[in-house]
Structure 1
Amino acid sequence: MEPIPKRRFSVGLTGGIGSGKTTVADMLAARGAAVVDTDLIAHQLTMPGGLAIPEIHAQFGAAFLTPDGAMNRARMREYVFAEPDAKVRLEAILHPLIRIETERAAAEAQGVYLIFVVPLLVESRGWKDRVSRVLVVDCQEVTQVRRVMSRSGLTEPQVHAIMAAQVSREERLAAADDVIDNDGEASALIPQVEQLHARYLALATAS
Protein backbone atom coordinates (compact mmCIF):
# COMPACT_ATOMS: atom_id res chain seq x y z
CA MET A 1 0.00 0.00 0.00
CA GLU A 2 1.41 3.38 -0.99
CA PRO A 3 1.49 5.87 1.89
CA ILE A 4 -0.40 9.13 1.84
CA PRO A 5 1.49 12.36 1.17
CA LYS A 6 2.99 14.07 4.19
CA ARG A 7 0.87 17.09 5.23
CA ARG A 8 1.16 18.04 8.90
CA PHE A 9 2.85 16.66 11.99
CA SER A 10 1.98 13.00 12.04
CA VAL A 11 3.02 9.84 13.83
CA GLY A 12 3.11 6.39 12.28
CA LEU A 13 2.14 3.99 15.07
CA THR A 14 3.06 0.36 14.54
CA GLY A 15 3.90 -2.85 16.35
CA GLY A 16 3.63 -6.59 15.99
CA ILE A 17 0.34 -8.42 16.32
CA GLY A 18 -0.79 -8.39 19.94
CA SER A 19 1.56 -5.59 20.95
CA GLY A 20 -1.21 -3.20 21.99
CA LYS A 21 -1.32 -0.72 19.11
CA THR A 22 -5.04 -0.04 19.49
CA THR A 23 -4.75 0.52 23.23
CA VAL A 24 -2.01 3.12 22.78
CA ALA A 25 -3.81 4.78 19.87
CA ASP A 26 -6.99 5.06 21.96
CA MET A 27 -5.03 6.62 24.83
CA LEU A 28 -3.49 9.21 22.52
CA ALA A 29 -6.90 9.90 20.95
CA ALA A 30 -8.32 10.53 24.42
CA ARG A 31 -5.67 13.23 24.83
CA GLY A 32 -6.61 15.00 21.60
CA ALA A 33 -4.83 13.21 18.77
CA ALA A 34 -6.72 12.35 15.58
CA VAL A 35 -6.37 8.64 14.78
CA VAL A 36 -6.59 7.03 11.35
CA ASP A 37 -6.43 3.25 11.71
CA THR A 38 -5.59 1.51 8.43
CA ASP A 39 -6.46 -1.89 9.86
CA LEU A 40 -9.91 -0.64 10.84
CA ILE A 41 -10.32 0.77 7.33
CA ALA A 42 -9.40 -2.63 5.89
CA HIS A 43 -12.02 -4.28 8.12
CA GLN A 44 -14.67 -1.80 6.96
CA LEU A 45 -13.82 -2.47 3.32
CA THR A 46 -14.36 -6.21 3.83
CA MET A 47 -17.55 -6.02 5.89
CA PRO A 48 -20.95 -6.81 4.32
CA GLY A 49 -21.48 -4.16 1.66
CA GLY A 50 -17.85 -3.02 1.87
CA LEU A 51 -16.23 -1.49 -1.18
CA ALA A 52 -13.83 -4.42 -1.59
CA ILE A 53 -16.46 -7.17 -1.45
CA PRO A 54 -17.53 -7.20 -5.14
CA GLU A 55 -13.95 -7.61 -6.37
CA ILE A 56 -13.11 -10.18 -3.67
CA HIS A 57 -16.14 -12.17 -4.81
CA ALA A 58 -15.08 -11.86 -8.44
CA GLN A 59 -11.45 -12.83 -7.77
CA PHE A 60 -11.87 -15.53 -5.13
CA GLY A 61 -15.47 -16.70 -5.33
CA ALA A 62 -18.36 -17.02 -2.90
CA ALA A 63 -16.45 -19.60 -0.85
CA PHE A 64 -14.40 -16.73 0.60
CA LEU A 65 -17.44 -14.82 1.81
CA THR A 66 -19.48 -15.43 4.95
CA PRO A 67 -23.26 -15.99 4.71
CA ASP A 68 -23.87 -12.30 5.49
CA GLY A 69 -21.55 -11.17 2.70
CA ALA A 70 -18.37 -10.23 4.55
CA MET A 71 -14.96 -11.56 3.63
CA ASN A 72 -14.32 -14.82 5.45
CA ARG A 73 -11.18 -13.62 7.19
CA ALA A 74 -10.20 -16.98 8.69
CA ARG A 75 -10.46 -18.78 5.37
CA MET A 76 -8.72 -16.00 3.48
CA ARG A 77 -5.92 -15.90 6.07
CA GLU A 78 -5.23 -19.60 5.63
CA TYR A 79 -5.35 -19.30 1.85
CA VAL A 80 -2.98 -16.36 1.48
CA PHE A 81 -0.47 -17.97 3.84
CA ALA A 82 -0.50 -21.10 1.68
CA GLU A 83 -0.62 -19.31 -1.69
CA PRO A 84 1.68 -16.29 -2.12
CA ASP A 85 -0.04 -15.38 -5.39
CA ALA A 86 -3.35 -15.09 -3.53
CA LYS A 87 -1.77 -12.60 -1.14
CA VAL A 88 -0.65 -10.46 -4.09
CA ARG A 89 -4.15 -10.58 -5.61
CA LEU A 90 -5.82 -9.64 -2.34
CA GLU A 91 -3.41 -6.75 -1.74
CA ALA A 92 -4.06 -5.50 -5.29
CA ILE A 93 -7.73 -5.21 -4.35
CA LEU A 94 -7.35 -3.79 -0.85
CA HIS A 95 -4.35 -1.46 -0.96
CA PRO A 96 -5.69 1.10 -3.46
CA LEU A 97 -8.97 1.27 -1.55
CA ILE A 98 -7.17 1.58 1.79
CA ARG A 99 -5.10 4.42 0.36
CA ILE A 100 -8.20 6.29 -0.84
CA GLU A 101 -10.02 5.86 2.47
CA THR A 102 -6.90 6.75 4.47
CA GLU A 103 -6.48 9.97 2.51
CA ARG A 104 -10.13 10.82 3.02
CA ALA A 105 -9.98 10.15 6.76
CA ALA A 106 -6.77 12.14 7.15
CA ALA A 107 -8.24 15.12 5.31
CA GLU A 108 -11.29 15.09 7.59
CA ALA A 109 -9.41 14.40 10.84
CA GLN A 110 -9.58 17.00 13.57
CA GLY A 111 -6.96 16.79 16.30
CA VAL A 112 -3.87 18.37 17.75
CA TYR A 113 -1.77 15.99 15.66
CA LEU A 114 -2.38 12.96 13.48
CA ILE A 115 -1.75 9.31 14.31
CA PHE A 116 -1.68 6.72 11.52
CA VAL A 117 -2.03 3.20 12.91
CA VAL A 118 -0.24 1.02 10.34
CA PRO A 119 0.40 -2.60 11.42
CA LEU A 120 2.80 -3.19 8.52
CA LEU A 121 4.40 0.25 8.51
CA VAL A 122 7.96 -1.06 8.43
CA GLU A 123 7.09 -3.62 5.75
CA SER A 124 5.30 -1.04 3.58
CA ARG A 125 7.68 0.97 1.44
CA GLY A 126 7.67 4.71 2.00
CA TRP A 127 5.61 5.10 5.16
CA LYS A 128 8.62 5.95 7.34
CA ASP A 129 9.49 8.86 5.05
CA ARG A 130 5.93 10.18 4.96
CA VAL A 131 5.29 10.58 8.69
CA SER A 132 7.08 12.90 11.06
CA ARG A 133 7.92 10.16 13.57
CA VAL A 134 7.53 6.40 13.91
CA LEU A 135 6.21 5.09 17.22
CA VAL A 136 6.61 1.37 17.93
CA VAL A 137 4.55 -0.36 20.61
CA ASP A 138 6.80 -3.17 21.79
CA CYS A 139 6.54 -6.29 23.90
CA GLN A 140 8.14 -9.71 24.23
CA GLU A 141 7.14 -12.23 21.57
CA VAL A 142 5.79 -14.61 24.22
CA THR A 143 3.47 -11.81 25.33
CA GLN A 144 2.27 -11.31 21.77
CA VAL A 145 1.43 -15.00 21.42
CA ARG A 146 -0.43 -15.12 24.74
CA ARG A 147 -2.49 -12.02 23.97
CA VAL A 148 -3.46 -13.07 20.46
CA MET A 149 -4.41 -16.59 21.52
CA SER A 150 -6.58 -15.29 24.36
CA ARG A 151 -8.52 -12.83 22.20
CA SER A 152 -8.79 -14.60 18.86
CA GLY A 153 -8.97 -18.34 19.39
CA LEU A 154 -6.01 -18.87 17.06
CA THR A 155 -3.62 -21.69 17.86
CA GLU A 156 -0.01 -21.04 18.83
CA PRO A 157 1.31 -22.23 15.42
CA GLN A 158 -1.15 -19.92 13.67
CA VAL A 159 0.01 -16.93 15.72
CA HIS A 160 3.65 -17.77 15.06
CA ALA A 161 2.88 -17.99 11.34
CA ILE A 162 1.38 -14.49 11.39
CA MET A 163 4.38 -13.16 13.30
CA ALA A 164 6.77 -14.84 10.86
CA ALA A 165 5.11 -12.94 8.00
CA GLN A 166 5.92 -9.63 9.73
CA VAL A 167 9.32 -8.04 10.17
CA SER A 168 11.26 -9.09 13.23
CA ARG A 169 11.00 -7.27 16.53
CA GLU A 170 14.60 -6.08 16.06
CA GLU A 171 13.86 -4.61 12.61
CA ARG A 172 10.79 -2.83 13.90
CA LEU A 173 12.68 -1.30 16.83
CA ALA A 174 15.47 -0.20 14.49
CA ALA A 175 12.92 1.82 12.50
CA ALA A 176 11.47 3.53 15.58
CA ASP A 177 11.89 7.13 16.62
CA ASP A 178 9.92 6.44 19.80
CA VAL A 179 9.10 3.21 21.67
CA ILE A 180 6.41 2.34 24.18
CA ASP A 181 7.07 -0.73 26.31
CA ASN A 182 3.80 -2.64 26.66
CA ASP A 183 5.09 -5.81 28.24
CA GLY A 184 3.76 -5.13 31.72
CA GLU A 185 0.59 -3.89 33.43
CA ALA A 186 -1.75 -1.56 31.58
CA SER A 187 -1.12 1.14 34.21
CA ALA A 188 2.52 1.29 33.08
CA LEU A 189 1.37 2.72 29.76
CA ILE A 190 -0.02 5.91 31.28
CA PRO A 191 3.23 7.76 32.08
CA GLN A 192 4.75 6.67 28.76
CA VAL A 193 1.76 7.92 26.81
CA GLU A 194 1.66 11.17 28.77
CA GLN A 195 5.32 11.83 28.05
CA LEU A 196 4.98 11.11 24.33
CA HIS A 197 1.80 13.14 24.02
CA ALA A 198 3.52 16.16 25.54
CA ARG A 199 6.43 15.72 23.11
CA TYR A 200 4.16 15.33 20.08
CA LEU A 201 2.05 18.29 21.09
CA ALA A 202 5.15 20.48 21.31
CA LEU A 203 6.43 19.23 17.95
CA ALA A 204 3.03 19.73 16.29
CA THR A 205 2.81 23.27 17.66
CA ALA A 206 6.30 24.08 16.39
CA SER A 207 5.80 22.59 12.91
Structure 2
Amino acid sequence: MHFTVGLTGGIGSGKSAASDWFAAQGICIVDADLVSREVVTAGQPALLEIEQYFGSSVIQTDGTLNRAQLRKIIFNSPDAKLKLESITHPRIRLAIVQQLAYATSPYALLVSPLLFETDQHLLVQRTLLIDTTEALQIQRASERDQQSIQQIEKIIKAQMPREQKQQRADDIILNNSTYDALYQKLHLLHQHYLILANNS
Protein backbone atom coordinates (compact mmCIF):
# COMPACT_ATOMS: atom_id res chain seq x y z
CA MET A 1 0.00 0.00 0.00
CA HIS A 2 1.41 3.35 -1.10
CA PHE A 3 1.82 5.86 1.77
CA THR A 4 -1.05 8.29 1.26
CA VAL A 5 -1.96 11.59 2.88
CA GLY A 6 -5.60 12.70 2.83
CA LEU A 7 -6.00 16.44 2.26
CA THR A 8 -9.27 18.13 3.16
CA GLY A 9 -10.74 21.50 4.05
CA GLY A 10 -13.98 23.43 3.79
CA ILE A 11 -15.01 25.71 0.94
CA GLY A 12 -12.62 28.67 0.61
CA SER A 13 -10.05 27.15 2.98
CA GLY A 14 -7.23 27.01 0.42
CA LYS A 15 -7.38 23.26 -0.17
CA SER A 16 -6.82 23.68 -3.93
CA ALA A 17 -3.84 26.01 -3.41
CA ALA A 18 -2.30 23.40 -1.09
CA SER A 19 -3.00 20.58 -3.54
CA ASP A 20 -1.42 22.58 -6.40
CA TRP A 21 1.68 23.17 -4.27
CA PHE A 22 2.09 19.45 -3.55
CA ALA A 23 1.60 18.69 -7.27
CA ALA A 24 4.41 21.17 -8.07
CA GLN A 25 6.68 19.12 -5.79
CA GLY A 26 6.01 16.07 -7.97
CA ILE A 27 3.51 14.42 -5.62
CA CYS A 28 0.81 12.30 -7.30
CA ILE A 29 -2.61 13.82 -6.68
CA VAL A 30 -5.85 11.86 -6.69
CA ASP A 31 -8.75 14.33 -6.63
CA ALA A 32 -11.98 12.82 -5.25
CA ASP A 33 -14.05 15.59 -6.89
CA LEU A 34 -12.63 14.74 -10.32
CA VAL A 35 -13.17 11.03 -9.71
CA SER A 36 -16.78 11.67 -8.66
CA ARG A 37 -17.38 13.48 -11.98
CA GLU A 38 -15.64 10.74 -13.99
CA VAL A 39 -17.84 7.94 -12.60
CA VAL A 40 -21.00 9.67 -13.87
CA THR A 41 -19.85 10.56 -17.38
CA ALA A 42 -21.95 9.41 -20.35
CA GLY A 43 -21.97 5.64 -20.80
CA GLN A 44 -20.75 4.89 -17.27
CA PRO A 45 -22.78 2.27 -15.29
CA ALA A 46 -23.39 4.78 -12.47
CA LEU A 47 -25.07 7.22 -14.87
CA LEU A 48 -27.35 4.50 -16.26
CA GLU A 49 -28.34 3.53 -12.72
CA ILE A 50 -29.00 7.18 -11.80
CA GLU A 51 -31.25 7.55 -14.86
CA GLN A 52 -33.15 4.33 -14.01
CA TYR A 53 -33.83 5.53 -10.48
CA PHE A 54 -34.31 9.29 -10.86
CA GLY A 55 -35.82 9.38 -14.36
CA SER A 56 -34.83 10.99 -17.65
CA SER A 57 -35.17 14.55 -16.25
CA VAL A 58 -31.67 14.17 -14.72
CA ILE A 59 -30.12 13.45 -18.14
CA GLN A 60 -29.45 16.28 -20.61
CA THR A 61 -30.12 15.96 -24.34
CA ASP A 62 -26.41 15.24 -25.00
CA GLY A 63 -26.56 12.25 -22.63
CA THR A 64 -24.65 13.89 -19.77
CA LEU A 65 -25.82 14.32 -16.20
CA ASN A 66 -28.09 17.28 -15.47
CA ARG A 67 -26.38 18.21 -12.20
CA ALA A 68 -28.66 21.16 -11.42
CA GLN A 69 -31.78 18.98 -11.69
CA LEU A 70 -30.25 16.16 -9.65
CA ARG A 71 -29.10 18.66 -6.99
CA LYS A 72 -32.66 19.96 -6.73
CA ILE A 73 -34.03 16.45 -6.19
CA ILE A 74 -31.51 15.37 -3.55
CA PHE A 75 -31.62 18.75 -1.78
CA ASN A 76 -35.30 18.18 -1.02
CA SER A 77 -35.15 14.47 -0.21
CA PRO A 78 -32.77 12.77 2.25
CA ASP A 79 -33.81 9.38 0.81
CA ALA A 80 -32.88 10.45 -2.72
CA LYS A 81 -29.51 11.69 -1.43
CA LEU A 82 -28.85 8.32 0.24
CA LYS A 83 -29.80 6.49 -2.95
CA LEU A 84 -27.46 8.64 -5.04
CA GLU A 85 -24.63 8.01 -2.57
CA SER A 86 -25.28 4.25 -2.65
CA ILE A 87 -24.88 4.37 -6.44
CA THR A 88 -21.82 6.63 -6.62
CA HIS A 89 -19.75 6.20 -3.43
CA PRO A 90 -18.65 2.55 -3.93
CA ARG A 91 -17.60 3.35 -7.52
CA ILE A 92 -15.78 6.53 -6.45
CA ARG A 93 -13.95 4.57 -3.75
CA LEU A 94 -12.90 1.84 -6.19
CA ALA A 95 -11.62 4.39 -8.73
CA ILE A 96 -9.67 6.23 -5.99
CA VAL A 97 -8.06 2.97 -4.81
CA GLN A 98 -7.08 2.12 -8.41
CA GLN A 99 -5.57 5.57 -9.03
CA LEU A 100 -3.64 5.52 -5.73
CA ALA A 101 -2.21 2.12 -6.67
CA TYR A 102 -0.58 3.71 -9.74
CA ALA A 103 1.07 6.56 -7.80
CA THR A 104 4.80 6.75 -8.47
CA SER A 105 5.82 9.62 -6.15
CA PRO A 106 7.31 8.96 -2.65
CA TYR A 107 3.81 9.41 -1.23
CA ALA A 108 0.42 10.16 -2.74
CA LEU A 109 -2.16 12.79 -1.87
CA LEU A 110 -5.89 12.10 -1.82
CA VAL A 111 -7.68 15.45 -2.05
CA SER A 112 -11.26 15.22 -0.82
CA PRO A 113 -13.62 17.84 0.63
CA LEU A 114 -15.59 14.92 2.15
CA LEU A 115 -12.59 12.96 3.43
CA PHE A 116 -14.15 12.33 6.85
CA GLU A 117 -17.81 12.32 5.81
CA THR A 118 -17.43 9.51 3.26
CA ASP A 119 -14.93 7.35 5.18
CA GLN A 120 -12.32 8.07 2.52
CA HIS A 121 -9.98 8.79 5.45
CA LEU A 122 -9.81 4.98 5.83
CA LEU A 123 -7.87 4.89 2.54
CA VAL A 124 -5.03 7.07 3.89
CA GLN A 125 -2.34 6.78 6.55
CA ARG A 126 -2.36 10.45 7.55
CA THR A 127 -4.79 13.35 7.27
CA LEU A 128 -4.12 17.05 6.69
CA LEU A 129 -6.74 19.72 7.25
CA ILE A 130 -6.35 23.13 5.61
CA ASP A 131 -8.36 25.33 7.93
CA THR A 132 -9.38 28.97 8.10
CA THR A 133 -11.98 31.17 9.76
CA GLU A 134 -15.57 31.12 8.53
CA ALA A 135 -15.32 34.83 7.67
CA LEU A 136 -12.33 34.13 5.39
CA GLN A 137 -14.09 31.11 3.86
CA ILE A 138 -17.04 33.31 2.90
CA GLN A 139 -14.82 36.12 1.59
CA ARG A 140 -12.63 33.84 -0.56
CA ALA A 141 -15.46 31.69 -1.90
CA SER A 142 -17.62 34.69 -2.84
CA GLU A 143 -14.70 36.35 -4.65
CA ARG A 144 -13.79 33.13 -6.46
CA ASP A 145 -17.18 31.62 -7.32
CA GLN A 146 -19.36 34.72 -7.63
CA GLN A 147 -21.86 33.01 -5.33
CA SER A 148 -24.04 34.86 -2.85
CA ILE A 149 -22.97 34.90 0.80
CA GLN A 150 -26.21 33.05 1.65
CA GLN A 151 -25.30 30.22 -0.77
CA ILE A 152 -21.80 29.92 0.68
CA GLU A 153 -23.15 29.91 4.26
CA LYS A 154 -25.49 27.08 3.24
CA ILE A 155 -22.54 25.08 1.84
CA ILE A 156 -20.53 25.67 5.04
CA LYS A 157 -23.48 24.52 7.18
CA ALA A 158 -23.84 21.36 5.06
CA GLN A 159 -20.16 20.47 5.56
CA MET A 160 -18.76 18.83 8.69
CA PRO A 161 -18.12 21.55 11.32
CA ARG A 162 -14.55 22.86 11.52
CA GLU A 163 -14.21 21.75 15.14
CA GLN A 164 -15.04 18.16 14.23
CA LYS A 165 -12.53 18.15 11.38
CA GLN A 166 -9.90 19.62 13.69
CA GLN A 167 -10.46 16.79 16.17
CA ARG A 168 -10.08 14.15 13.46
CA ALA A 169 -7.13 15.52 11.47
CA ASP A 170 -3.55 14.42 12.18
CA ASP A 171 -2.11 17.68 10.85
CA ILE A 172 -3.73 21.13 10.67
CA ILE A 173 -2.55 24.19 8.76
CA LEU A 174 -4.30 27.45 9.55
CA ASN A 175 -4.41 29.28 6.23
CA ASN A 176 -5.35 32.79 7.31
CA SER A 177 -2.52 34.77 5.73
CA THR A 178 -0.63 34.87 2.40
CA TYR A 179 0.13 32.11 -0.10
CA ASP A 180 3.80 32.36 0.89
CA ALA A 181 2.96 31.70 4.52
CA LEU A 182 0.86 28.68 3.44
CA TYR A 183 3.66 27.31 1.25
CA GLN A 184 6.21 27.60 4.08
CA LYS A 185 3.97 25.50 6.33
CA LEU A 186 3.38 22.99 3.53
CA HIS A 187 7.11 22.70 2.90
CA LEU A 188 7.70 21.58 6.49
CA LEU A 189 4.93 19.01 6.30
CA HIS A 190 6.18 17.78 2.92
CA GLN A 191 9.58 17.00 4.49
CA HIS A 192 7.80 15.21 7.34
CA TYR A 193 5.68 13.14 4.92
CA LEU A 194 8.76 12.15 2.91
CA ILE A 195 10.31 10.73 6.10
CA LEU A 196 7.08 8.96 7.07
CA ALA A 197 6.73 7.48 3.57
CA ASN A 198 10.33 6.33 3.61
CA ASN A 199 9.79 4.55 6.94
CA SER A 200 6.43 3.01 6.09
Confirm or deny a common fold (TM above 0.5). Answer: yes
Q: 5+ residue gaps in structure 1?
A: 1-6
How far apart are residue 35 of structure 1 and its match?
1.3
Q: 5+ residue gaps in structure 2?
A: none
Structure 2 residue matching 1:16: 3-state secondary structure: coil
How far apart are residue 159 of structure 1 and its match?
2.0
Within a 5 Å distance, the mapping from 1:18-57 to structure 2 comes to: 18-57=12-51
Which of 179, 197, 200 in structure 1 is aligned with 2:172? Answer: 179
Distance 1:20 1:79 in 2: 30
Structure 1 residue matching 2:62: 3-state secondary structure: coil
Task: Determine if the alignment matches structure 1 residue 149 to structure 2 residue 142.
Answer: yes
Distance 1:110 1:152 in 2: 33
Within a 5 Å distance, the mapping from 1:188-199 to structure 2 comes to: 188-199=181-192
Within a 5 Å distance, the mapping from 1:94-105 to structure 2 comes to: 94-105=88-99
How far apart are residue 51 of structure 1 and its match?
4.3
Structure 1 residue matching 2:110: 3-state secondary structure: strand
RMSD: 1.9
Residue 114 and residue 161 in structure 1: after superposition, are their counterparts in 2 closer, same or farther (change >3 A)? same
- AA paired with 2:37? H
Task: Determine if the alignment matches structure 1 residue 13 to structure 2 residue 12.
Answer: no
Structure 2 residue matching 1:52: 3-state secondary structure: helix
Higher mean C-alpha deviation, range 76-85 or range 62-71? 62-71
- AA paired with 2:187? E
Which of 52, 63, 67 in structure 2 is aligned with 1:58? Answer: 52
Residue 77 and residue 159 in structure 1: after superposition, are their counterparts in 2 closer, same or farther (change >3 A)? farther
Structure 1 residue matching 2:101: 3-state secondary structure: helix
Aligned length: 200
- The percentage of counterpart residues that share the same residue type is 40
Residue in structure 1 matched with residue 155 of structure 2 by the alignment: 162
TM-score, normalised to structure 1, is: 0.87
Distance 1:130 1:191 in 2: 27
Structure 1 residue matching 2:197: 3-state secondary structure: helix
